[in-house]
Chain A
Amino acid sequence: MNQPIRLNPPLSDEDVEKLKIGDRVLINGVIYTGRDAAHKRLSDLLKDGKTLPFDIKGQIIYYVGPTPAKPGQVFGSAGPTTSYRMDAYSPSLIERGLKGMIGKGMRSDSVKEAMKKYKAVYFAATGGAGALLAKRVKKAEIIAYDDLGPEAIRRLEVVDLPVIVVNDVRGNDLYIEGERRYRKG
């Protein structure tokens, strides 16, 4: 396997064009968290033509609802949640400049189309590796929707957050390719 690629958001079109499905990536810098409830609110803001709580251009969103941090801990256990629940909301965010999403599980065709059209990628983090992923978060602060508790939007500073490219800008899908390669009979 190749050496992992280090990525530092915000990402440009060139950054994401270079990525291929199966690439192991270590994310360094700032990412934002959001899942079901936050996405609904962001989507409503976009529909009403209002500004989002943070500048989405070039950014990466991590679909996560962590456990509460223990005293002395920066972030609680933080593995990805299943992404398909955010499918309805993602294309409009991608259109507005969102360059990366981290989650787990296959995305819909409309999300994959948006990634091809507007140049964005989808990464998988290992589901259930909550303790390991939490250790890569060096700073965490709520920047919006505090009332949502674990579902609030947080700004995270991460060091070497390990993810795999699952969808690239060319429409490839590692969930489909992987299964095809290892299927027997």
Chain B
Amino acid sequence: MREIHVKLITEKVRDLCMEANTDLGEDVLQAFDRAMEKEESPLGVEILKELKENARIAKEENVPICQDTGFAVVFVELGQDVHLVGGNLNEAIQEGVRQGYKDGYLRKSICHPFTRANTGDNTPAIIHTELVPGNKIKMTVAPKGGGSENMSRVTMLTPSDGIEGIKRFVVQRVKESGSNPCPPTIVGVGIGGTFEQAAFLAKKSLLRPLGSKNPDPELDQLESEVLTEINQLGIGPQGLGGRTTSLAVYILMMPCHIASFPLAVNIQCHAQRHKETEI
């Protein structure tokens, strides 16, 4: 048994909220570089340069990359041998988000669905907790903006729709989204499970570093094919025309019911923000 005081959780979450919003991963910047080499639209190249420059300013001056500092989505891998003391895990995480969004001068963007009254402190956060072997806690904070989230969908395909059905739906979704999710996007795809699990897989797939391959060769192939089709749509950076509509398509899959074929598409804008830590 290893004792961990929840105060430490609050501190770490606070820091992760601020870092994720100001420091864009090196893998994303390299993805911009790769895109610039292939982009045929001069305006598209200018936009990609602007995004790189923006990331540099944000990191250097410690200011948010984007004004939509997002819904705080927190993934926790809690070791079974950890004994949390000093309070409640969920409360500690919420307090970390509260502090991070205040101390980091981040935008408070959470409201009541009906009245639209702002909750004032960017809580509640969304917390996904998984119990794992061991005595460590791994936490990832991945702020998720509203624009790209609004373009995301879950659908229950028919098993006979097959892989072609998946490609059709994903490409069509990107096409219909147009410029709204701030292309170039990263397309998270969840296949299988249940209705809600497919959506969770799609969100989780967005944590993958850009430039990485899917360990499953069949899915890796499918990811490439869908990405190629997407980039033939011509939507381009910021939807102003070009060959870089998406930087990656990432798939997570698990078994599903014999009568079902769930599919979720979680669109992520170019500001793929996530930071992690291990206690």
Binding site for A on B (CB under 8 A): 40-43, 46-47, 50-51, 53-55, 57-58, 61, 63-69, 105-108, 116, 118, 147, 178-180, 182, 232-236, 238-243, 269-271
Query: Is there a chain B Cβ closer than 8 Å to A179's Cβ?
Result: yes
Query: Is there a chain B Cβ closer than 8 Å to A184's Cβ?
Result: yes
* A window 95-135: CB within 8 A of B: 104-106, 124, 126-132, 134-135
Q: Are A76 and B178 in contact (CB under 8 A)?
A: no
Q: Smallest CB-CB separation from A149: which chain B residue? A: B118
A68-B107, A175-B179, A178-B236 as given contacts; A132 in contact with B53, CB under 8 Å: yes
A132-B57, A183-B233, A185-B232 as given contacts; A124 in contact with B238, CB under 8 Å: yes
Q: Which residues on B sit within 8 Å (CB–CB) of A130?
A: 54, 58, 63-68
A105-B178, A162-B50, A182-B236 as given contacts; A128 in contact with B107, CB under 8 Å: no
B68 to chain A: closest CB distance in Å? Answer: 8
- In the A-B complex, the 10 residue pairs with the closest CB atoms: A178-B241, A183-B234, A182-B234, A127-B182, A131-B58, A77-B64, A129-B54, A132-B54, A184-B232, A131-B57
Question: How far apart are the CA atoms of A162 and B47 in the complex, in Å?
Answer: 11
Residue A128 contacts which of B63, B235, B269 (CB distance < 8 angstroms)?
A: B269
Q: Are B50 and A127 in contact (CB under 8 A)?
A: no
* A window 166-185: CB within 8 A of B: 166, 174-175, 177-185
A82-B147, A131-B63 as given contacts; A179 in contact with B182, CB under 8 Å: no
A67-B106, A164-B240 as given contacts; A175 in contact with B67, CB under 8 Å: no
Residue B47 contacts which of A106, A126, A135 (CB distance < 8 angstroms)?
A: A126
Q: Which residues on A sit within 8 Å (CB–CB) of B239?
A: 104-106, 175, 178-179
Q: Smallest CB-CB separation from A162: which chain B residue? A: B50
Q: Are B234 and A127 in contact (CB under 8 A)?
A: no
Question: How far apart are the CA atoms of A69 and B68 in the complex, in Å?
Answer: 14
Q: Are A105 and B64 in contact (CB under 8 A)?
A: no
Can you show 14 pairs from A to B with CB atoms below 8 A apart?
Answer: A67-B64, A68-B105, A104-B238, A126-B47, A126-B54, A127-B238, A129-B53, A129-B66, A130-B64, A130-B68, A131-B64, A135-B57, A175-B179, A179-B178
Known: A67-B63, A131-B64. 18 other contacts (CB 8 A): A37-B116, A64-B67, A67-B107, A68-B107, A70-B105, A76-B67, A78-B67, A79-B67, A105-B179, A127-B182, A128-B51, A129-B66, A130-B66, A132-B53, A149-B108, A162-B50, A178-B43, A184-B232
Residue B63 contacts which of A76, A105, A149, A185 (CB distance < 8 angstroms)?
A: A76
Residue B235 contacts which of A24, A64, A166, A179 (CB distance < 8 angstroms)?
A: A179
